[in-house]
């Protein structure tokens, strides 16, 4: 039940409304067929059993289709990791003449805290926020398996901070539960402990 609530909480509002609308119509159909029609027409479905079975199958297919269509969270755009875009600079030595140069130098992402997070304080945040209940991280001895194994994933601090702020999948957003400083601290801790 808790995992279902976490998955539903990560869906967008439009997806929740779509699932709720189809679910409510399915429930109303079931209640009408169970209580209202038999009370009014004692021989229900009687000679119209084919229509009843067809309509029931249609509602079943509609509910399954709604779960498949609306029960999917939107994919987050993936950063252009590994393929940085070249930067262009313009300079001119003479008036009216412009020279364009392309800088394609790449820099490796730094595993330390984006925004100056404190990794030591981040370990306390990781433990107090219950992150180990869902994630495996050798630095804390946690073996959770609901979320990804952070030792294998090796996310950088910016990715951790983003995930903690907005959530996704079964992970709820911690933006209202943690301060921006705590989010940067836990991001720095996860990044440094998985890249050492």
Taking the C-alpha atoms of residue 33 and residue 138, their distance in angstroms, rounded to an integer, is: 55
Higher-confidence position of 169 and 123: 123
Pairing of strands 99-103, 87-91: antiparallel
Amino acid 8: pLDDT:
55
Asked if 151 and 192 count as a contact pair (C-beta separation under 8 A), the reply is no
Amino acid 184: pLDDT:
93
Higher-confidence position of 7 and 31: 31
DSSP string, 98-137: -EEEEE----PPP-SPTTS--HHHHHHHHHHTTGGGT-EE
Instruction: Tell me the pLDDT tens digit for each residue of 132-177.
Output: 889 999 999 999 888 889 989 999 999 999 999 998 888 888 988 8
Taking the C-alpha atoms of residue 37 and residue 2, their distance in angstroms, rounded to an integer, is: 36
Q: Which residue in the block uniquely carries the two structure tokens 């609901």?
A: 146
Asked if 11 and 73 count as a contact pair (C-beta separation under 8 A), the reply is yes
pTM > 0.95: yes or no? no
Which residue in 108, 110, 106, 113 sits closest to 160, CA to CA? 113
Instruction: Tell me the pLDDT tens digit for each residue of 62-114.
Output: 888 888 887 766 555 555 444 444 444 454 445 555 555 554 444 434 344 44
Helix (H, G, I), strand (E, B) or coil at 89: strand
Taking the C-alpha atoms of residue 155 and residue 79, their distance in angstroms, rounded to an integer, is: 12
- 31 cis-preceded (ω within 30 degrees of 0): no
Does the pLDDT value for residue 49 go beyond 80? yes
């Amino acid at each position: 039940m808790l995992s279902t609530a976490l998955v539903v909480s990560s869906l967008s509002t439009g997806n929740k409304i779509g699932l709720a609308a189809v679910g409510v119509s399915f429930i109303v159909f079931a209640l009408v067929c169970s209580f209202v029609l038999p009370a009014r027409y004692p021989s229900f479905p009687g000679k119209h059993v084919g229509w009843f079975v067809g309509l029931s199958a249609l509602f079943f297919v509609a509910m399954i289709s709604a779960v498949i269509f609306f029960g999917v969270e939107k994919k987050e755009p993936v950063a252009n990791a590994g393929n940085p875009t070249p930067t262009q600079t313009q300079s001119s030595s003479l008036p009216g003449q412009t020279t364009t140069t392309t800088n394609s130098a790449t820099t490796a992402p730094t595993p330390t805290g984006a925004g100056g997070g404190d990794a030591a304080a981040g370990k306390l945040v990781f433990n107090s926020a219950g992150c180990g209940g869902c994630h495996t991280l050798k630095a804390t001895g946690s073996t959770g398996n609901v979320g990804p194994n952070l030792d294998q994933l090796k996310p950088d601090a910016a990715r951790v901070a983003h995930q903690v702020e907005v959530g996704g999948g079964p992970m709820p957003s911690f933006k209202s539960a943690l301060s921006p400083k705590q989010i940067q601290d836990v991001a720095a801790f996860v990044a440094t402990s998985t890249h050492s």
